[in-house]
Amino acid sequence: MTPALPSLPVTLRDRRTSDLPILTRWLTDPAAEWRRWDAPYFPAAGTTRTMEAYADYLAAHGPDADEQVIDVDGVVVGMVNRSEEEPEGGGWWDLGILIYDPAYWGGGVGTRALGLWVQDTLDWTDAHVLTVTTWGGNERMLRLGKRLGFRECARVRQARLWEGVRYDSVQLDLLRGEWRGLPQP
């Protein structure tokens, strides 16, 4: 059972060399539970190759301001990232979050981590609008976005096929002026 949010000190921080073994293990494990929720409709072999290449990239490159690890009381449990949509300087940033370890799902870690990432993005970029994109089968991610004030802005119906079922692709957005800060536990 995951402890309640108030007892978990969730922080975002730069990746350290000492984090690489755990990140590599979670990223490259083809049986990791997170793969059932993060775009499972892409072929597993391709995702494994992509994640292996990403782990190699992390090992060869230092920390990046557009990527942070999610640290819960000294344990790396996931990552957040962001990328600026083109054209550069247009004020649109897309955010991502992935909590690898299912032991930290459902207890508020994602809400706290993504909320911190929204605030960081607004503090350090020219962002006017933030987006997150997921699929209709990832109900936890949809609830998380809405909990932080994101609203549905795009839905491509039945765009994703997984295990014989069609799901919508869903994008949520949040304008800078709509951000009310982190929800209180």
> Which CATH number fits the domain that encloses residue 26?
3.40.630.30
Residue linked to tokens 């350090």: 124
The parent domain of residue 17 ranges over 5-129
Tens of pLDDT, residue by residue over 106-135, are: 999 999 999 999 999 999 999 999 999 999
First to last CA, the chain: 18
What burial class does residue 74 get, using C-beta atoms within 10 Å of its C-beta: 0-12 exposed, 13-18 middle, 19+ buried? exposed
Residue 150 covered by a domain: no
CA 42, CA 37: separation in Å to the nearest integer? 11
Residue 180 lies in a domain: no
- Predicted confidence (pLDDT) at residue 5 exceeds the cutoff of 70: no
Question: What is the domain count for the chain?
Answer: 1
Beta pairing partners, 27: none
The CB density around residue 88, as the number of other CB atoms within 10 Å, is 8
